[in-house]
Structure 1
Amino acid sequence: MTQRSRKLIGAFLCVISIFVWACIATSIYLMFPEGLPGLVLIVYFIVAGMGWVFPAMWIIRWMARPDERGL
């Protein structure tokens, strides 16, 4: 697979993974009980907001791999 095709696929994978992560994080937030302290919510939003970074790093690392040289 060429780097160009990996970049196309990776771009779609990044968008899809961010969308899925946002849906999961929102679903978890909606399960929280009413009246939680603000500090708990801030910590949750920081963790949930940064959670998409790890899958994106893996996808970007895969996209940036150089092409294999064939004979």
Structure 2
Amino acid sequence: MPQRLKRFIGMLLLLALVILYALVATTIATYRLAESPWYVHLAFFALSGLVWVLPAMGIISWMERKPKGGGATR
């Protein structure tokens, strides 16, 4: 797969990941943490703000991986 195509697909995946993850995290916070004290909110958003990085790192790693077989890259 050409490098430019991988980067384009990866960009779309990252965009979808961020949007979906933000919606899920906000929904969980709204319905589960409504009556919780401030420090529970702080801990939840600190943790959820960092967890999305793990799948994003996998996508970026895949995007930057060189093609096998020494094919031409652009």
Q: Same fold (TM over 0.5)?
A: yes
| Structure 1, unaligned runs of 5 or more | none
State how 1:18-57 maps to structure 2 within 5 Å.
18-57=18-57
Structure 2 spans left out of the alignment, 5+ residues? none
TM-score by length of 2: 0.84
Q: How many residue pairs were aligned?
A: 70
TM-score normalised according to structure 1 size:
0.87
Does the residue aligned with 2:32 lie in a helix, a strand or coil?
A: coil
Task: Let me know the Cα RMSD of the aligned residues.
Answer: 1.3
Contact 1:21 1:52 in 2 (8 A): yes
**Is contact 2:3–2:66 with CA below 8 Å preserved after alignment?**
yes
Aligned structure 1 segments of 4 or more residues deviating by more than 3 angstroms: none
